[in-house]
Amino acid sequence: MGDAAQIIICNVVIDELLNKNLVDKAAQVGDSPYDSLSSLAAKYPTHIQNLRGKGKGTYISFDTPEQIGLMMKMLSVLISESVVCRVSDCARRWSLSRIYRYFWEPLKVLLTD
């Protein structure tokens, strides 16, 4: 049957998600960074490929032929700005949850270098 206290907590969380429309809001939050990154992908198709994650909130990822180089350059920028970024070891995908304001200009600079 389950722990009654945990079931109550779960119901409260579900109510908050539904009442405040948080799933749709999360998708909208990701629209702006996705659109910006899509523009960069159109301008630099050799650097940003297979962009995905539209409508998935801030989980946006893309492929790039120079994964390690771009990752290291971006990490140096993000570390210098004290921004946390998660990179998957196997796919080297960027999680763009907290780096929006630090991401676009440094990425444009790195792509033109």
Please check whether residues 53 and 95 belong to one and the same domain: no
Residue that has been written with the tokens 């771009």 in this structure: 70
Residues near 10 by beta carbon (within 8 Å), at least 6 away in sequence: none
What is the block-wise mean pLDDT of the chain (113 residues), using blocks of 10 residues? Answer: 85 91 79 83 87 81 79 69 50 48 63 64
Q: What is the pTM of this model?
A: 0.52
Question: What's the pLDDT at 111?
Answer: 66
Please check whether residues 52 and 78 belong to one and the same domain: no
Please check whether residues 6 and 47 belong to one and the same domain: yes
Instruction: Map 44-65 to HEC letters.
Output: CCCCCEEEECCCCCCCCEEECC
Rounded (10°) CA dihedral 82, 84, 88, 93: -90
Give me the number of domains the chain comprises.
Answer: 2
Question: What's the pLDDT at 112?
Answer: 66
